Amino acid sequence: MNPNTGWAERDEHKRYDVTEGEYLPPDPHAVEQKQNRAKGAGALLVAIGALLVKFKGLLLVLLNLKYAVVLLKVFWFAGSFLASVWFYALFWGWKFGLIFVVLIGIHEFGHWFAMKFYGVPSSLPFFIPGMGALVNMRAHPASAFHESLIALAGPAAGTAASAACAYIGFSNHEPFWIAAAYIGLFLNLFNLAPVMPLDGGRVVGSISPRIWIGGLALFIVAMLWFHLFNPLIIILIVLSIPQVIAAWKGTLDPRYYSVTLGQRLAVGAAYFGLAAVLFAGMLYTRIPVPGHALVQ
Residues 251 and 156 in one domain: yes
In tens, the pLDDT along 195-229 reads 888 899 889 888 888 888 888 888 888 778 877 77
Per the prediction, the chain carries an average pLDDT of 77
Residues 275 and 166 in one domain: yes
Q: pLDDT band for position 60 (50/70/90)? A: low
Mean pLDDT of all residues in 183-196: 91
> 10 Å Cβ neighbour count for 33?
11
Residue 8 lies in a domain: no
pLDDT at residue 29 greater than cutoff 70: no
In tens, the pLDDT along 123-172 reads 888 888 878 888 888 888 888 889 999 999 999 999 999 999 999 999 99
pLDDT at residue 5 greater than cutoff 60: no
The enclosing H or E element of 115 equals: helix 94-117
269 burial type by CB count under 10 A (0-12 exposed, 13-18 middle, 19+ buried)? exposed
Q: pLDDT band for position 240 (50/70/90)? A: confident
CA 273 from centroid of its chain's CA atoms = 30
Residues 242 and 115 in one domain: yes
Residue 262 lies in a domain: yes
**Residue-level pLDDT at 93:** 87
Q: Count how many domains the chain has.
A: 2
Q: Residue 129 belongs to what domain range?
A: 73-294
Residue 14 lies in a domain: no
Residues 37 and 173 in one domain: no
Residue 172 lies in a domain: yes
Q: pLDDT band for position 251 (50/70/90)? A: low
Residue 139 lies in a domain: yes
For 23-27, 62-66, 218-222, which range has the lowest pLDDT when averaged over its residues? 23-27
For residues 125 and 288, give the distance between their C-alpha atoms in angstroms, rounded to a whole number: 30
Residues 100 and 163 in one domain: yes
Residue 130 lies in a domain: yes
Residues 40 and 168 in one domain: no
| Contact criterion met (CB below 8 Å) for 220 and 236 | no
Residue 155 lies in a domain: yes
Residues 32 and 79 in one domain: no
Q: Report pTM.
A: 0.70
For 175-184, 234-243, 259-268, 285-294, which range has the lowest pLDDT when averaged over its residues? 285-294
Helix axes 65-92, 56-63, angle to 10 degrees: 60
DSSP 123: P
Q: Phi/psi of residue 133, each to 5°?
A: -160, 170
Residues 40 and 84 in one domain: no
pLDDT at residue 272 greater than cutoff 90: yes
Report the amino acid identity of residue 52.
L
pLDDT at residue 47 greater than cutoff 60: no
For residues 243 and 240, give the distance between their C-alpha atoms in angstroms, rounded to a whole number: 6
**In terms of pLDDT, which residue wins out, 276 or 205?**
276
3-state helix/strand/coil string of 136-203: CECCCCCCHHHHHHHHHHHHHHHHHHHHHHHHHHHHHCCHHHHHHHHHHHHHHHHHCCCCCCCHHHHH
Residue 37 lies in a domain: yes
pLDDT at residue 280 greater than cutoff 90: yes
Residues 35 and 159 in one domain: no
**Residue-level pLDDT at 64:** 55
| CA-CA-CA-CA torsion sign (209, 213, 218, 220) | positive
DSSP 287: -
Residues 147 and 280 in one domain: yes
For 95-99, 124-128, 148-152, 284-288, which range has the lowest pLDDT when averaged over its residues? 284-288
Percent of the chain with pLDDT over 90: 27
Residues 134 and 223 in one domain: yes
**Residue-level pLDDT at 139:** 83
Mean pLDDT of all residues in 255-282: 89
Percent of the chain with pLDDT over 70: 71
Residues 52 and 89 in one domain: no
